[in-house]
Amino acid sequence: MKLLKSLAGAALVSLLASPAPAQQAAPGIDPYPLAEKGADLARIWCNACHVTGAEQPERGMDSAPPFATLAPLVGADMARYRTFLTKPHGPMTEIDLSRDEIEAVLAYILSLGPTRP
């Protein structure tokens, strides 16, 4: 019984210490698996131009902002970035993301930003 209480206590502490999920993900969508999917999509579609994460060894293009830089901007205006990603833009003329994929990429970008209390 003591072991069970200890494990439950450790799980609660871990849960409370973990960063809060992205606050502006679409309603009803769990942002943690969504951000992981977004990271995978970013590696496929975005790495050629953007620095999408710390593990990316090469640098992105000067004209394409790093995802970590985009995080506060995306967090401030999700609707704008949802719309932006629905249309091919700049050198990204071949990109064609579904709505779910756009949500995933945005959740990933938000996960790279500063955590909110």
Q: Where are the domains of the chain?
A: 26-111
Provide the 8-state DSSP code for 22.
P
CA dihedral for 75, 80, 85, 89, sign (positive or negative) = negative
pTM score: 0.66
- According to the model, what pLDDT value does residue 21 have? 41
pLDDT tens digits, 28-83: 655 568 999 999 999 888 888 888 887 766 666 777 888 888 999 888 898 999 99
DSSP string of 96-109, one letter each residue:
---HHHHHHHHHHH
Distance CA 52, CA 108 (A): 9
Distance CA 35, CA 70 (A): 15
Distances (CA, A) of 73 to 52, 79, 81, 109: 15, 11, 9, 10
Report the residue count for the chain.
117
Q: Which residues pair with 89 in a beta bridge?
A: 92
Distance CA 108, CA 102 (A): 10
Please identify, in words, the CATH class of the domain defined by 26-111: mainly alpha
